Amino acid sequence: MTNLGRSLVVLLLGSLSLAAQTKPHKKAPPKPEPTKPELVEYVRGSLLSLTPVDGINDTLDVSFDPNQNILTVTSASGRCNFTLSALNANTLVWDIFDPSDQFQGRENLLRLTAVSVSGRVARTCWDKNGVLDATMVGNRARFLFSVSKAEGVPDFQDKMGKALKRLIALSGGSAEKPIYQ
């Protein structure tokens, strides 16, 4: 072996030795998943702080019964109980809703709809006098937000969708599953 060959072998062995001595970089531990109470507070806080202010769709209060997994939303027109264990996380859909009527124009609303698992009631509503509202369709839950307020929160729709899907799963509802891959 020539001097050049020996030098290359020594150089190669030296670099392998140095590579073996360097410590591998450790990845940061993954962030823990939010807990059910944390998710409830995120959803509750968003419903209250991003509420429409039109005298009808205003969210006045939001509470959660952890024993029955019911989210109660009280608005100016009454209250609705949303049974989270009856919801299907694969069915969340966002849309813009115009609540105007023939008498009064109102701000557009950002609406998040979740459909119930077949045969389950997702929503039960009462008017402001406490009378059951039989006109409400019970197989879907609808959550309302002010479009203008929600636009001020970066990635709001993505964050709320993820939070609600996870909360539905933790509450015994149908968890999100990939349908087509």
The full set of domain ranges for the chain reads 36-170
Residue 117: per-residue pLDDT: 95
Residue 8: per-residue pLDDT: 47
Question: Residue 20: CB partners within 8 Å, gap ≥ 6?
Answer: none
Can you give the pTM of this predicted structure?
Answer: 0.80
Mean pLDDT value across residues 26-48:
92
Reported confidence tier of residue 103, pLDDT bands at 50, 70, 90: confident
Cα–Cα distances in angstroms (integers) from residue 100 to residues 8, 51, 118, 134, 157, in the given order: 80, 16, 31, 22, 23
Question: Between residues 52 and 7, which one has the greater pLDDT?
Answer: 52
